[in-house]
């Protein structure tokens, strides 16, 4: 079974993964880091929940920004 051995270099702890989830909001992650995230999300309970909260927050921020831009384009 080489499958798990191939995944081993991609294993990260939750602290590193949450840091990556946050970093992803600001910059484009390399393929390796995106793979790291995906692998961890499969084996972890807490981090997918955290990711969902970040995505919800991001959507809310985007909607708020659209709202501001549409309503008051001159006042930024
Ligand atoms: Zn985790």
Print the domain residue range for 42. Answer: 2-75
Question: From ligand 1's centre to the CA of 60, what distance in Å?
Answer: 24
Q: Mind listing the pLDDT tens digit for each residue in 1-57?
A: 577 677 677 788 999 999 999 999 889 999 999 999 999 999 999 999 999 999 999
Question: From ligand 1's centre to the CA of 27, what distance in Å?
Answer: 21
Of 73 and 71, the one with more pLDDT: 71
**pLDDT at residue 75 in the model:** 55
Q: Which two tokens stand for residue 56?
A: 């919800």
Local structure of 15: helix, strand or coil: helix
Question: From ligand 1's centre to the CA of 5, what distance in Å?
Answer: 19
Please state, in angstroms and rounded to a whole number, the distance separating the CA atoms of residues 33 and 35.
5
**pLDDT at residue 10 in the model:** 75
pLDDT class for 72, splitting at 50, 70, 90? low
Q: Exposed/middle/buried for 16, CB within 10 Å: 0-12, 13-18, 19+?
A: middle
21-55 burial, b at 16+ Cβ within 10 Å, e below that, comes to beebeeeeeeeebeebbebbeeebeebeebbeeee
Domains: count for the chain: 1
By the 8 A CB rule, do 9 and 35 touch?
no
């Amino acid at each position: 079974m080489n499958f798990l051995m191939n995944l081993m270099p991609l294993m990260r702890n939750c602290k590193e993964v949450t840091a990556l989830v946050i970093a992803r909001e600001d910059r484009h992650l390399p393929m390796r880091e995106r793979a790291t995230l995906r692998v961890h999300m499969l084996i972890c309970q807490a981090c997918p929940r955290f990711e969902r909260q970040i995505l919800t927050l991001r959507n809310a921020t985007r909607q708020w920004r659209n709202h501001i831009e549409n309503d008051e384009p001159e006042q930024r």
